[in-house]
Structure 1
Amino acid sequence: MTEHRPGAWPVGTGPGPGPATAVVDDAPQSPQGPPVEVPVAEVRLVVTVDLTGRYDHHAQVSHDLYEQTRYSTDCHTAIVRLGEDALRVSSGLGSAIASRFFLVARSVEIHVPAGTRWAYVATEAQEYMRHYAADHAQLLNRTRTPG
């Protein structure tokens, strides 16, 4: 019986070739040139959320926002289109949008209908995103071990 140490395979039974099946490569090796650089185009992922439909309750807007963003794990830009109904029935849309995108999007664009009083939603979302990002950074700093 062959001697077997923990973590070692007995000769001839391991995952690699045994001693009797040595591979000999007689083919001449081709000289290697400089590495080839392949240009890669910059790709920016964009998530578009459309909340311009008919809404009667805040819960409908929140559900629709969640459903349209639940598979958006990482993106460069998030574009959120808001309609009159969504803005009328839903308070706190800036906070809701910020909480969905503050960790996954580098930029968030909020489109509201022209000539409405709802333009503050974009500013509100930016403010919440700054607060959420700062809070997240503090949380990470508290949970990291020193050293």
Structure 2
Amino acid sequence: MTERRPGQWPVDHPVHLDPDPAPVVQEATQPPARIVVPVPDVRLVVTVDLTNEYATHDDVSRALYEQTMRASDCHTAIVRLGEAAIRKHLELPRAIAGAFFLSAQRIEIHVPAGTRYAYFAVRVRQELVQICADHSRMVSSLRTPG
């Protein structure tokens, strides 16, 4: 058995070092040129179609939910409304604003032609302002831990 411990070099094979090693010259390398990949200006649009005939309030709510559940983030939300949806769902402006207030930068409401339902987009905008104000109050009232 040898007298060395694990991790020691054996004494009978010494490592010979050159007393004057030649200096290693590394070539100055320039950093690679930056590659710029152009990103196109893409605006994602979600279209919700509520122009079908609906029998109840729940039918309209279900259709709105099914069409918006995967709309996580978009630039513009276009909501097409039919007369049946407007008549059956009295809280539709709040439901539309609630579905898109954190995910869409812009909400467009398309209603049937004529001035009869022209107020609907204004009501959605008012609901959106209220929901955003409530959300900002809630966020500002949260305390940071610690």
TM bucket (normalised to shorter chain) is 0.7 to 0.9
> Greater CA radius of gyration, 1 or 2?
2
Q: What's the CA shift for 1:146?
A: 8.7
1:53 aligns with 2:61: no
| Equivalent residue number for residue 113 of structure 2 | 114
| Equivalent residue number for residue 93 of structure 1 | 92
State the SS of the aligned residue for 1:80. strand
Whole-angstrom distance in 2 between the partners of 1:77 and 1:29? 51
Q: What's the CA shift for 1:74?
A: 0.7
| Equivalent residue number for residue 66 of structure 2 | 67
1:44 aligns with 2:39: no
Matched residues, number: 121
State the SS of the aligned residue for 1:115. coil
Taking structure 1 as reference, are residues 32 and 84 closer, same or farther at Cα in structure 2, changes over 3 Å only? same
State the SS of the aligned residue for 1:100. helix
Q: What's the CA shift for 1:32?
A: 3.2
Give the partner amino acid of 1:39: P
| Equivalent residue number for residue 126 of structure 1 | 125
Whole-angstrom distance in 2 between the partners of 1:107 and 1:144? 30
Gaps in structure 1 of 5+ consecutive residues: 1-10, 12-27
State the SS of the aligned residue for 1:96. helix
CA contact (8 A) 1:93 1:121 kept: no
Whole-angstrom distance in 1 between the partners of 2:108 and 2:138? 26
Give the partner amino acid of 2:123: E
State the SS of the aligned residue for 1:118. coil
Structure with the higher fraction of residues in helix conformation: 1
Q: CA RMSD in A?
A: 2.2
Q: Structure 2-normalised TM-score?
A: 0.76
CA contact (8 A) 1:51 1:61 kept: yes
Q: What's the CA shift for 1:86?
A: 0.9
State the SS of the aligned residue for 2:106. strand
Whole-angstrom distance in 1 between the partners of 2:110 and 2:124? 12
State the SS of the aligned residue for 1:121. helix
CA contact (8 A) 1:49 1:78 kept: yes
Residues 104-136 of structure 1 deviation map (CA, whole Å, 9 limit, x = unaligned): 100000000101511111101101111111111
How much identity, in percent, do the aligned residues show? 51
